[in-house]
Amino acid sequence: MKSNNSLFLLFLLLSASPVFAQLEITSERDDQGNVNFFANNLDVVPYTVILNFSQLQNMTTSGGGNVVAVASPGKSKVATLKPTLAGQGTNYRYGYTYLKGNVYGKSKNEPVYLIPVEEGIQVKAGHLRSLLASATGEESKGELGVFFEFDGKVKLVAPRKGVVSAIKSDFVSDKEGLTYSREQNFIELYHEDGTLTKILVVDGSDIQVKVGDVVIPGQVLGSSSGENYSGGPHVQVDVLKVVKNGADKLKYERIQPLFHTQGGAVKVEPKKVYEVIHSEEVITAELSKKELKSYQSEKE
């Protein structure tokens, strides 16, 4: 029988999850006395879940006290408790935490990203670490994303194939001369290797995709913004990977991706100017056969 530990579980959920929970764990006991745990994922992309069993009486799991699983959209089984000795009483206590993304996701080769701007535009690269330090005096302890400055308003495009996993379009600021802002309109993409890419400083009135859409590299997502920044119009790119943080926690680790340039696949250098190119090699690298056929037919 599950112990009554509502306050403990509630604390874990409030400390680890959004206000509107995208994922819930339920349990069901079967005819053999096993307790099966199911994740109900309301989102359109996978989440990584850690179930922490703080008390197990006459029950075992394949992962010991902590079970790490990936919950696909919809309902999926993420853990099973089995009785150790048949015919004896059982008891358990658990909590759980989760983050968007797949901790087990991998790429065969290191992915290459398009600079997420329409082709032919000249952009000047920078690291968000410098903007944060300039605006707040804070020094980042880890990696931050990158940004690309340009002249005037431009179309923003998908840097990789992915599923649109989140959109924020209602942020409005009347402040001028901004250097850095923690709140931005953005479009977030989930990739097959379990990572997330956030495209930030987006014009909230001109977003051309919706959550759940599958996009391919070079596909227009919307328009740029940032005219009220001291550096002028720009786009920020933040690539995140969910990783374990100790035995029973998760966190995001930032990745500095390789961007496709005329000089090849590179980690962009601050203050260096690049011309945006969209080569077919990068655009088609992650496409399925069906997507590739559709892409080629549209070009004819």
Residue-level pLDDT at 7:
30
Q: Is the model's pLDDT at 260 over the cut of 60?
A: yes
* pLDDT confidence of residue 143: 60
pLDDT of residue 177: 83
* 6-100 maps to CATH 3.40.50: no
3-state helix, strand, coil in the chain (%, to 5): 10, 45, 45
Domain boundaries, the chain: 6-100, 112-289
pLDDT digits over 149-208, tens only? 999 999 999 999 999 999 999 998 888 888 778 889 999 999 999 999 999 999 999 999
**Angle, CA of 222, 74 and 287, to the nearest 5°:** 45
**Mean pLDDT (whole number) for 226-251:** 94
Its pTM stands at 0.88
pLDDT in tens, 8-20: 333 333 334 444 6
**Is the model's pLDDT at 24 over the cut of 50?**
yes
Of the chain, the percentage scoring pLDDT greater than 70 comes to 88
**Tokens read off for 33:** 């006395």
CATH of the structural domain 112-289, one choice from 3.40.50.150, 2.70.70.10, 3.30.1330.60, 2.40.440.10? 2.70.70.10
What pLDDT, on the 0 to 100 scale, is given for residue 99? 97
With vertex at residue 260, the alpha carbon angle to CA 156 and CA 116, rounded to the nearest 5 degrees, is: 10
Q: Is the confidence at residue 130, as pLDDT, over 70?
A: no
101, 47 Cβ separation under 8 angstroms: yes
